[in-house]
Chain A
């Protein structure tokens, strides 16, 4: 227990000093550090809380207009391909969630005006769980869920 706290403290102070050094070295202005990065959403340990922090709501409507591609069974949870594609109108962002990860929110992609609502990336999954694609449109939040079985988790040591 004491050891765990010490590690948290060490980790915390390391993080702060690294950013501090970068700021003082003029590599970054304080304003650009984490300017848009939704810290609370990424720190959330539950899917609903992450969505509330990120998008202001967790009320998503399941939509067959979202295509979510991921393997049914993943031998390697550290490199799990995910493709999200949708023909919904007015898409503002696409977010990817792995429901059983320590921090379920993996990534969120804000789309510019000319972007096609499509993203393909690779994620880590700690264990078998649902992958959820959440698409924010002008008319609300839509989602698609796919269950993925993970043989070897990709988050821990």
Chain B
């Protein structure tokens, strides 16, 4: 099911590296159900926003070409232990999820 996000953020030498995995099917809409032959509707994350404190560090615009249970890693200058990292996603069916974590 679409849902949880795992985040791991670490600062090293002034640069914070964030690694995350979002649980999501990422269906392209191109596949068919092998049993019924019916098309599987497209269901994929379209927009991912990553924030450090309240500042947007990265916005990802995605297609169904991003793998199932997407892995995303990014880096930014700054960040200290305990700072808030927030990742939010919205998919093509209007579902969304958000998770916050702290730089560890």
Contact = CB atoms under 8 A, between A and B. Distances in A.
Interface of B is mostly: strand
A107 B42 contact: no
Given A114-B55, A115-B75, A11 B65 contact: no
Interface string A138-157: 00000000000000001111
Chain A CB within 10 A, most for which of B41, B65, B72: B65
Interface residues of B, number: 44
Nearest to A50: B63
Given A42-B63, A118-B75, A123-B67, A112 B57 contact: yes
Contacts of A115: 57-58, 74-77
B41 A106 contact: no
Contact of A37 (B42, B47, B65): B47
A105 interface: yes
Given A15-B92, A34-B46, A121-B73, A78 B67 contact: yes
A105 B30 CA distance: 15
B59 A11 contact: no
13 contacts: A18-B94, A21-B94, A22-B93, A101-B65, A106-B65, A107-B60, A108-B61, A112-B55, A114-B57, A114-B77, A115-B77, A121-B73, A124-B64
Interface of B: 15, 28-34, 39-42, 46-47, 52, 55-68, 70-78, 90, 92-96
Interface of A: 7, 10-11, 14-15, 18-19, 21-23, 27-28, 32-34, 36-38, 42, 78-81, 98, 101-103, 105-116, 118-124, 154-157
